[in-house]
Amino acid sequence: MYLIGLTGGIASGKSTVAKRLASWGAIGIDADQLARHVVEPGTPGLAAIVAEFGDTILLNDGTLNRPALGAIIFTDARQRERLNAITHPAVRRLTRDRVAAAVAADPHVIVVYDVPLLAEAIAGGLVTFDLIVVVHADAETRIERMVKLRGLSREDATHRIAAQASDADRLALADVVIDNNGTVEATLSQVDALWTRARAAEAGAAEAGAGEAGAGEETDGAATT
């Protein structure tokens, strides 16, 4: 298995990169989707959130009112930490399960873990990445995307950027940076080069592993003659 950690700030274009890698055959695991899964109705996660923040963060159908919760956590770091303490352990467990399932299906799989809070995932001992990829777009570009494509106000968009790790913190972790300030075509070209690199690295690691196994067998055989 070859595990890529894919991260980037909100509206940086991670989804575009992840979809392109999936089109080449990578198995994608989206941390945001897992985070939604662990707070579905009837889950311990949602029950814990209601106990912490009150039932005003529920919609009439019993699902999580994400805008209401977002209004709380994106403007208050302490509240955000309280939410993370509930959801992050559950997401970590589910991530490990998904990675294990992918490897069981194909030992040579390339897995792309799309995670906004990659630094936190590393610090929490979630997984060890073979390659860390940061999708980068400057803050103004990302604000414009959120306003035009997501209907947020500039103030809300700015709050959401401020609530995440800084660009400098993310870039400091990067093995590869995908520049998504330009055209889609330019971005996809960088992703294709990334796939070629990952595929070659996985093949090389597999070949090295096979060589070590073969050497071990020869040594064992020599010891018994």
Give the C-alpha distances (Å, rounded to integers) separating 125 from 92, 93, 121, 128, 129. Answer: 9, 11, 6, 8, 11
Torsion (CA) 30, 121, 181, 110 in degrees, nearest 10: -50
pLDDT at residue 224 tops 60: no
pLDDT, the chain, mean:
89
pLDDT in tens, 124-149: 555 689 999 999 999 999 999 999 99
Quote the pLDDT of residue 109: 96
Q: Are 91 and 36 in contact (CB under 8 A)?
A: no
Q: In this structure, which amino acid lies at residue 112?
A: V
Place 78 in a pLDDT band, splitting at 50, 70 and 90.
very high
Q: In this structure, which amino acid lies at residue 44?
A: P
pLDDT at residue 172 tops 60: yes
Q: Region 38-46: what's the mean pLDDT? A: 95
- Percent of the chain past pLDDT 90, that is, above it, reads 68
